[in-house]
Amino acid sequence: MSSDEGTRGRVRVRAVYPGTFDPFTPGHLDVVERARDLFDEVVVLVAVNGAKHPTASGEERAAAVRAVLPVEWTSVTVAAWSGLTATYCRRHEVGVIVRGVRNITDLWTEHQLAAMNQSLGVPTVFLPTQPELAAVSSTSVRALGT
């Protein structure tokens, strides 16, 4: 059995969950928790995007995400990344992108990104937000903190 096969002879699937995570919310944590049940490994990919102006650097946001992840979630790692998510996936042998969607507006936006990433060879899986977390966004959390 090759090193990328699981104990049942299937290929291990690594997933990436990209986002700005400014800050990482209970909804984000829920998506990671559910992605852990679907995939062998999950990388929380903290986006470093010059077009956005987060309140902290990519490494600081990555450290904040690491700090809230339960230590027993050994199949979850966190990385900061500047560049296309599909490029990260190709360079790190990640097979799928995970995206959380709160509402129809999110779904429309995410569908467009998914189409682009699919054209670059990386499929996307959408995980709908739990109803009790649908109103929570990083923007609303930041607004409450000020």
Which active-site residues does the annotation give? 28, 52, 102, 138
The rounded distance, in Å, linking the Cα atoms of 59 and 79 is 8
| 3-state secondary structure labels for all residues of the chain | CCCCECCCCCECCEEEEEECCCCCCHHHHHHHHHHHHHCCEEEEEEECCCCCCCCCCHHHHHHHHHHHCCCCCCCEEEEEECCCHHHHHHHCCCCEEEEEECCHHHHHHHHHHHHHHHHCCCCEEEEECCHHHCCCCHHHHHHHHC
Contact 144, 135 (CB under 8 A): no
